[in-house]
Structure 1
Amino acid sequence: MIRLIIRTAAVLCLPLTAMAGPTTRPRHLPGQIIVDPANPAWLVRYSADGKHKPFFMCGPGDPEGFLHRGKLNADGTRDGDQMQLIDKLKLTGANCIYLQAVRSHGGDGDKTHNPFIDHDPARGLSAKVLDQWETWFDSMDKAGIVVFLFIYDDSALVWKTGDVVGPEEKQFLDGLVNRFKHHRNLIWCVAEEYRERLSPKRASGIAAAIRAADEFAHPIAIHQNHGLKFDFPDDPSIDQFAIQYNVKTIDQLHAGAVKAFADAKGRYNVNVTEVAGHGRMSDLRQANWAIAMGGAYVMVFEMDIASTKSSDLEDCGRLVQFFESTAINRMAPHDELAAGGTQYVLADPGRSYVAYSAKHGGKMGLKGLPAGSYDLTWFDCAAGNRVERRGVSVAAGEQVWEVPAGLGAEVAVRTRMAVK
């Protein structure tokens, strides 16, 4: 039987048995990232008054070995650069790190890439290792950086129990969940490229075990190999499709995100987490906006933080800042509403819109607008500059506006019906 060791600090003294089952009402934390109760196609930040705040995520989809970087100490902890990477990210507004708990046992790491005492699953979780992870997660959480925590790397398989989650694995999952579920900026992910070693039934069982142990109901994702067909569209324990989509062009990325959003039919949200060569694209900012305008969160593969230009991270931060100033959790892709030089559109038709273009030619617009008074916020995607236009009178139908002077080639404009 696996021996579980957890920290005894008061805030973390949580029972190892499940505190809440799937049918129990969640006990969300103030400001926690949750699935939008009104629209599971998006995540929001929880507010007890029901006025949840829009949330957007864009940032590094690496380094997956974050938790295992640096010289290995005798007690299993690491002498690495983790805190330096977090501090670098804090300055930019990019708001996630893609990291993995278990990379051994067939994964991409070596035999030490796990949180077990002496790296032996039979000896249970190491309190010292989890304590060190907690220092990093706490720093991320306080800065609003999402801990996107994979339980397993691709091909990692610790317990050979077929389609079922055995008692040792269940106790391991409970230990991880109970140790870290107090964080507000946390998304669990069952596994990377899960089918390499897990059956759909086993993967679903892992998600269910996480859900049962987490009374705060943090979102749960799962990652697949290349493609847009999701294996778990109606699984009550899985909230997010972490997409791998290895295509070559920005338009293909946008079209893939649009299709994935449409296929979800509001049942789950989508996150483009892995695109071959994504972090090395010369037009990376445009690629990120194209994905976001398709209705997906953005995690940039090969953006390892250490070698990433701060300017690329800052571009992610500006994208996050812009979308969190909109009602994105009420929107869906509506490129058919594009007019003028607009390329892509997200909209809650009749209420609010986001139009984007990297080749606007000086004019951008929208089709199908109801007549009324609108507030427009123009945004320079490269520089972050804003231009406000309030109370703009619009006739019903198509409307095209001049892009304000001083804005660059990549522009987004938020258009919303003015509050009377």
Structure 2
Amino acid sequence: MSHRRFYTFYLSLCALIFGLSACNKKEKVQNHVLEGSLKKWQPVTLTFDGPQVSKNDAINPFLDYALLVNFHNGKEYFTVHGYFAADGEAAETGAESGNKWRVKFAPDAEGKWEFEAYLAEGTDIGISEDPLKEKKKALWKSSGSFEIAPPDSTATGFYSTGRLEYTGKHYLEESETGKQFLKSGVGSPENFLAYHEFDGTFDNGGAETPTLTNGLHQYSQHIGDWKDGDPIWGDDKGKGIIGSLNYLADKGMNSLYFMTMNVAGDGNDVWPWIDPDKQTRYDVSKLAQWEKVFTHMDKLGMAMNVFTQETENDTLLNHGDLGLERKLYYKELVARFGHHLGVVWNLGEETNRSTEQLESYATYIRSVDPYNHPIAAHNHVRVTGKSIAGRPLDPIQETFLPLLGFKDFEIPSLQMADTMEIHEEVNKWRNLSLDKKRPWVIYLDEIGPYDIGVTTDSAANNNYDAVMHTSLWGSLMSGGAGTSWYFGGSDIPNNDLSAEDFRTRDQWWDIATNAHQFFNHHLPFWEMQNHDELVSNEKSYCFAKKDDIYVVYLPKNETTDLQIGDGAFTIAFYDPKKGGMLLDKQNEGWKITKPNSVELSAFNGQKNKDWVIVIKRK
């Protein structure tokens, strides 16, 4: 089923026209409530009166009902799945039953939008890609319209820049601004949603985290980062997790990696259901509280890298196949959270699944996701010396090589144990995908060694200089689209599962943001590619748009020759650790050694630090 298609059978529906008009905040017409700012990119929420049910009823409200709403404006058509919302206020009330059915839609254009809504009942109709073609019981159908105004001039985050979209390039694109998006992300804790103030959340026997209270996150060090007007729920709940997002956004982070299901996994403390073993019954109040957090991420411009499972549990649903429980899981995630603007659906951390299974997951998600959010997968780590039947074990290649060119896959989410391999590996997959005429967006989403990752500021073995060189700049200078920073797997405070205080890596966020700002402010990076063949020193990197602009990463105590084009060029230096302004003083940091070649060295003889050198045509 293709996306944004206007289903012709809608034309034959004898819909009741309720004539919903544009509204400010809330307008109720018969069984509809329309909410939202009615500005481009900001979510429109339609809540309908439907059957009074409970999440535990014999007729399963998640599986045996289907709410489908078609939105169209004469040019575009979005068919959006809705969901059971209990009493409509479940985040606050914890309600388990009610008669409210809801759909959220993120309009990408101004002007008049019309909708037709249809609620049906039938066995397993909830997982149908096309429930209106099923011969099931129709409960009601209705229609209406609303007007969408231009983007809010005071909006922030993705409400200002628009949805992140794959457009056939090596970077995702902000659909409102047209700018290419470079991820600067946080990859720990992977169980970010194991938060003590979410309903139905508890430690179900995961890895030991003795520094956490009852095995759950509180983010208490970030309560002070919560601001007036930020979301809360219940009795003043949520300030810790919302404050942590505020802190990270203030430090320049624009992406977060998190699990939505880790049952039987490392954390064993995150799931969307009423119980880890009841995988067709969803916890409406918990998911409504997640929604408050995700909405705040949109406002902050923080992308959602949604990891749907992990290596320890990727056979939990239907033994790893695309069966009833797995389809319902994907459909509920898309229905409840697909309207968010920075979503990437990740098929699994350190995936063990076959190519056929991964493709089936991706194709089903795409069939129910009207927004075509990018789809990713994460590989097992490459381990030197391990083999199968005498053949070197390379899970990176085994995961991604068969997916090259596949129409429903856009992002290899790379895990690399040996950081010295990152620069070459990113460049390799960028070029392979280009050869298949479906360029991939290459993410670096975990670095090793597994027990170290990125250390804290105060760690005795602080590894920032090495990670800055090999992983941060190493990936970006190969045309990588960004990183998520993993904290290491040991059970000491503020490592992966135990991470509570993001300020313990305050200096690292500055270093990561320096790279992000350099690329965004000084380079047409989307027009550039790796050209290491132009530098003589193999420890250096070169990223260039040949004959126009060259960027060289020069490690400390090194020099290199660079081949450049004819004509006059300027030179400037950038301190990747300190950041700040480009330094353009002409000095012994470069000299012409022969035609079309220059020798590059440290700025003003400061050989004890790494330098980024920009050589640009006048």
TM-score > 0.5, shorter chain as reference: yes
Q: Deviations over 1:185-232 (max 9, x none)?
A: 22110111221xx33222211111222222322221101112431241
Query: Equivalent of 1:125, from 282, 286, 290?
Result: 282
CA distance in 2, matches of 1:241, 1:414: 29
CA distance in 1, matches of 2:616, 2:512: 24
Corresponding position: 1:284 with 2:467: yes
Q: Deviations over 1:225-263 (max 9, x none)?
A: 12431241122111011112211xx53332333333333
CA distance in 2, matches of 1:35, 1:98: 18
Q: Which amino acid aligns with 1:399?
A: V
Match of 1:213 in 2: 368
Query: Equivalent of 1:252, from 421, 444, 450?
Result: 421
Structure 1 residue 162: Cα displacement: 5.3
Deviates further, 203-212 or 227-236: 227-236
Match of 1:34 in 2: 165
Corresponding position: 1:99 with 2:276: no
Deviates further, 130-139 or 260-269: 260-269
Match of 1:24 in 2: none
CA distance in 2, matches of 1:44, 1:313: 23
Query: Equivalent of 1:238, from 406, 409, 413?
Result: 409
Residue 103 of structure 1 aligns to a residue whose secondary structure is coil
Structure 1 residue 316: Cα displacement: 1.1
CA distance in 2, matches of 1:413, 1:3: 59
CA distance in 2, matches of 1:414, 1:237: 37
Q: Is the 8 A contact 2:201 2:270 kept in 1?
A: no
Structure 1 residue 80: Cα displacement: 3.2
CA distance in 2, matches of 1:161, 1:182: 29
CA distance in 2, matches of 1:315, 1:94: 11
Question: For the structure 1 residues 73 and 377, does the alpha-carbon distance in structure 2 shift closer, same or farther, using more than 3 Å as the test?
Answer: same
Q: Deviations over 1:21-53 (max 9, x none)?
A: xxxxxxx9853222243x3x33232247xxx31
Q: Which amino acid aligns with 1:216?
A: Y
Question: For the structure 1 residues 295 and 76, does the alpha-carbon distance in structure 2 shift closer, same or farther, using more than 3 Å as the test?
Answer: same
Match of 1:22 in 2: none
Structure 1 residue ranges without an equivalent (≥5): 20-27
Structure 1 residue 63: Cα displacement: 0.9
CA distance in 1, matches of 2:273, 2:577: 44
Corresponding position: 1:12 with 2:104: yes
Residue 267 of structure 2 aligns to a residue whose secondary structure is coil
Larger RCO, structures 1/2 (Cα 8 Å, 6+ apart)? 1
Residue 67 of structure 1 aligns to a residue whose secondary structure is coil
Question: For the structure 1 residues 75 and 55, does the alpha-carbon distance in structure 2 shift closer, same or farther, using more than 3 Å as the test?
Answer: closer
Question: For the structure 1 residues 258 and 155, does the alpha-carbon distance in structure 2 shift closer, same or farther, using more than 3 Å as the test?
Answer: same
Q: Is the 8 A contact 1:63 1:97 kept in 2?
A: no
Question: For the structure 1 residues 93 and 417, does the alpha-carbon distance in structure 2 shift closer, same or farther, using more than 3 Å as the test?
Answer: same
The aligned runs of 1:288-367 (5 Å cut-off) are: 288-296=472-480, 297-302=482-487, 304=496, 306=501, 308-325=504-521, 326-338=523-535, 343-359=540-556, 366-367=562-563
Residue 427 of structure 2 aligns to a residue whose secondary structure is helix
Q: Deviations over 1:270-296 (max 9, x none)?
A: 222122233136133223212222332
Match of 2:565 in 1: 370
Aligned residues: 396
Question: For the structure 1 residues 218 and 132, does the alpha-carbon distance in structure 2 shift closer, same or farther, using more than 3 Å as the test?
Answer: same
CA distance in 2, matches of 1:153, 1:86: 23
Q: Which amino acid aligns with 1:409?
A: K
CA distance in 1, matches of 2:181, 2:595: 31
Residue 149 of structure 1 aligns to a residue whose secondary structure is strand
Question: For the structure 1 residues 251 and 119, does the alpha-carbon distance in structure 2 shift closer, same or farther, using more than 3 Å as the test?
Answer: closer
Structure 1 residue 123: Cα displacement: 4.3
CA distance in 2, matches of 1:204, 1:273: 21
Q: Which amino acid aligns with 1:219?
A: P
Question: For the structure 1 residues 79 and 73, does the alpha-carbon distance in structure 2 shift closer, same or farther, using more than 3 Å as the test?
Answer: farther
Match of 1:25 in 2: none
Residue 273 of structure 1 aligns to a residue whose secondary structure is strand
Q: Is the 8 A contact 2:174 2:180 kept in 1?
A: yes
Structure 1 residue 101: Cα displacement: 0.5
Query: Equivalent of 2:304, from 147, 157, 171?
Result: 147
CA distance in 2, matches of 1:321, 1:213: 36
Match of 1:275 in 2: 447
Corresponding position: 1:83 with 2:266: no
Match of 2:609 in 1: 409
Corresponding position: 1:62 with 2:188: yes
RMSD, aligned α-carbons? 3.6
Residue 244 of structure 1 aligns to a residue whose secondary structure is strand
Residue 98 of structure 1 aligns to a residue whose secondary structure is strand
Structure 1 residue 10: Cα displacement: 7.4
Q: Is the 8 A contact 1:101 1:149 kept in 2?
A: yes
Question: For the structure 1 residues 388 and 372, does the alpha-carbon distance in structure 2 shift closer, same or farther, using more than 3 Å as the test?
Answer: farther
Match of 1:223 in 2: 378
CA distance in 2, matches of 1:410, 1:386: 15
Q: Is the 8 A contact 1:36 1:329 kept in 2?
A: no
Question: For the structure 1 residues 403 and 109, does the alpha-carbon distance in structure 2 shift closer, same or farther, using more than 3 Å as the test?
Answer: closer
Question: For the structure 1 residues 416 and 54, does the alpha-carbon distance in structure 2 shift closer, same or farther, using more than 3 Å as the test?
Answer: farther
Structure 1 residue 311: Cα displacement: 0.6
Structure 1 residue 339: Cα displacement: 5.4
Query: Equivalent of 2:354, from 175, 187, 199?
Result: 199
Q: Which amino acid aligns with 1:153?
A: E
Structure 1 residue 383: Cα displacement: 1.4
CA distance in 2, matches of 1:324, 1:18: 40
CA distance in 1, matches of 2:615, 2:372: 33
Corresponding position: 1:262 with 2:458: no
CA distance in 1, matches of 2:279, 2:505: 42
Residue 191 of structure 1 aligns to a residue whose secondary structure is coil
Structure 2 residue ranges without an equivalent (≥5): 1-58, 63-82, 89-100, 107-116, 118-125, 131-157, 204-215, 220-240, 383-395, 456-461, 488-494
CA distance in 2, matches of 1:74, 1:216: 30
Residue 265 of structure 1 aligns to a residue whose secondary structure is helix
**Max Rg structure:** 2
